[in-house]
Amino acid sequence: MNDDEYGTVLLRPLRVEPVGPPQIDVARAMREGRRMRRRRWAFGGGFLAAIVAALVTGSLLIAPAAPHRPVLPPDPPLPKSCTLAALPMGNYHSAEVGGGDSTGRWHFGLSNPVVNTGPQHTLVWHDGALVGDAALPGADVDLTGINSSGVIVGEANDHKTGIRPYVYRNGKFSPLKGGVGQASAVNDAGTIVGRLGDDAHPIPVRWRSPDAEPERLRMPAGGTISYHHLAIAPDGTVAGAVFLRAAGPATESTVTYLWLPDGTARQIPAPPAPRDTRAYLEPLTFRNGWLYAEQVITEKNAGLNVYAIADEQLVRYDPAGGTWQRIDGDKIKGPAQFPPSGRSYGTGGGIRPAVFVGPAVLELPWFMPLADPEVDYARVQSISNDAHTVAGDLNRGGNDPTQPFRPIIWHCE
């Protein structure tokens, strides 16, 4: 018999349909996909351009060079134990955690995260107590960062101007100056970074304070800011990805830039990509002296004639010494989460939630009655710089409002 006959007959018993009810949650896919999208909004014009943008990044890869600075920024010690507690929800039945600050004292979230299940308000927790409950300033609200003073930044559609950068402080939302745009992150000094303009013509900017006028970040010739997410360090250094379109697709590239507090900017080298792949970097956050980024690796799909995303690696860069480190490639595929990455798919089915502390993994306890490891999914949404406070939420998926999101916090020592 020929191969096709053999294969058809041999595998025929496996030609069966799934019999159980599907456990696929489209609403969750949209929520999590939206977070991913926020970080990837602007590749330029269209999908093909987006993929092409990644093509030549590989050719720019430079080997890590830090021969004169063997001392790397230290990671906090891995806590030995953690305890789990619920965060209060006020009168709400359901609430998710959106993020937390570097100290672990401030967190923000959203009531009734599943649409049409109740009023959606921004919730703010301080030292585990619910201290803020504010109506949303518009539609399409996406809050992206909070600092150690409880100042939150993000975006909202005010239905007049469009999607604008917003700031929350002292219990109230207000738009940042500059019109249409988005705010990505705020550091503990109150400096905010984001972009202004529409997706086709984005301009990276920095606001020295919530009331300040925006200052343009100087772009390299021929470059546009490529990704939504811009990270800001405690000293005001900003990291972002820049899309360079020089002379046609063959010379397009996406490179990573640092804008320094003194007004200068410099391109930073990228870590090596696997053989036969192209890669680009998405800056995520500054933490404990490191810039964390996601390295997106693409492989050519000959059939579609595009480079499709094949893998994503969590990496980090020491801006002072120029050293890149890859956070373990296998671990990132496992249950360990890295909150600013938007990679909070959640863990469930008995898998214990875990979070990266530098390259180490902190496993988090969850137990009845707060959590049912058999049916709950845990999302880790923030971890403090000292790794002593971790926050997130539990849910059982689906749009059933009787299965609420439950905000939680781990205290670790």
Partner 1 sequence: MENGTDAAYLAYVNGRIPALRRIAYLLSGDEHQADDLVQETITKLYARWPRISAVDNVDAYTHTMLVRAFLDEKRRGWWRVRLFGSPPDHAANVAGIAEDRAMLRGALAKVAPRQQAVLVLRYLCDQSVAEVAEMLGCSEGTVKSQTRHGLDALRKILGEPRSVQRSGGAR
**Smallest separation, CB 362 to partner 1 (Å):** 17
Q: Of 52 and 315, which CB lies nearer to partner 1 in the complex structure?
A: 52
Judged by CB under 8 A, the chain residues 273 through 312 that form the site for partner 1 are 299-304, 308-311
Regarding 249 and contact with partner 1 (CB under 8 A), the answer is no
**Smallest separation, CB 91 to partner 1 (Å):** 29
Structure tokens belonging to residue 412:
């670790």
Burial class of 347 by CB neighbour count within 10 A (0 to 12, 13 to 18, 19+): buried
Regarding 335 and contact with partner 1 (CB under 8 A), the answer is yes
Burial class of 304 by CB neighbour count within 10 A (0 to 12, 13 to 18, 19+): exposed
**Smallest separation, CB 167 to partner 1 (Å):** 22
**Smallest separation, CB 33 to partner 1 (Å):** 3
CA atoms within 13 A of residue 54's CA, in its CB half-sphere: 26
Residues in contact with partner 1, total (CB under 8 A)? 56
Q: First and final CA of the chain: distance in angstroms?
A: 65
Query: Pick from 329, 350, 321, 336: which is nearest to 380 by CA?
Result: 336
Q: Of 66 and 375, which CB lies nearer to partner 1 in the complex structure?
A: 375
**Smallest separation, CB 158 to partner 1 (Å):** 15
**Smallest separation, CB 328 to partner 1 (Å):** 12
Site map 198..237 versus partner 1, x via CB under 8 A: ----------------------------------------
**Smallest separation, CB 364 to partner 1 (Å):** 16
Q: Of 189 and 306, which CB lies nearer to partner 1 in the complex structure?
A: 306
Judged by CB under 8 A, the chain residues 33 through 62 that form the site for partner 1 are 33-34, 36-37, 40, 43, 46-48, 50
Burial class of 342 by CB neighbour count within 10 A (0 to 12, 13 to 18, 19+): buried
Dihedral of the CA atoms 35, 37, 39, 43 (nearest 10)? Answer: 180
Q: Of 212 and 375, which CB lies nearer to partner 1 in the complex structure?
A: 375
**Smallest separation, CB 304 to partner 1 (Å):** 6
What is the bridge-based pairing of β-strands 354-357 and 336-337?
parallel
Please pick, from the candidates 65, 78, 320, 351, the single residue that binds partner 1 as defined by CB under 8 A: 351
Sign of CA pseudo-dihedral 103, 33, 314, 320: negative
Q: Of 25 and 386, which CB lies nearer to partner 1 in the complex structure?
A: 25
Q: Of 14 and 221, which CB lies nearer to partner 1 in the complex structure?
A: 14
Q: Of 344 and 384, which CB lies nearer to partner 1 in the complex structure?
A: 344
What is the bridge-based pairing of β-strands 192-196 and 214-216?
unpaired
**Smallest separation, CB 307 to partner 1 (Å):** 9
Site map 134..173 versus partner 1, x via CB under 8 A: ------x---------------------------------
Judged by CB under 8 A, the chain residues 5 through 34 that form the site for partner 1 are 5-11, 13-20, 22-26, 28-30, 32-34
**Smallest separation, CB 18 to partner 1 (Å):** 4
Regarding 368 and contact with partner 1 (CB under 8 A), the answer is no
Residues in contact with partner 1 by the rule CB under 8 A: 1, 3-11, 13-20, 22-26, 28-30, 32-34, 36-37, 40, 43, 46-48, 50, 140, 299-304, 308-311, 330, 333-335, 345, 349-351
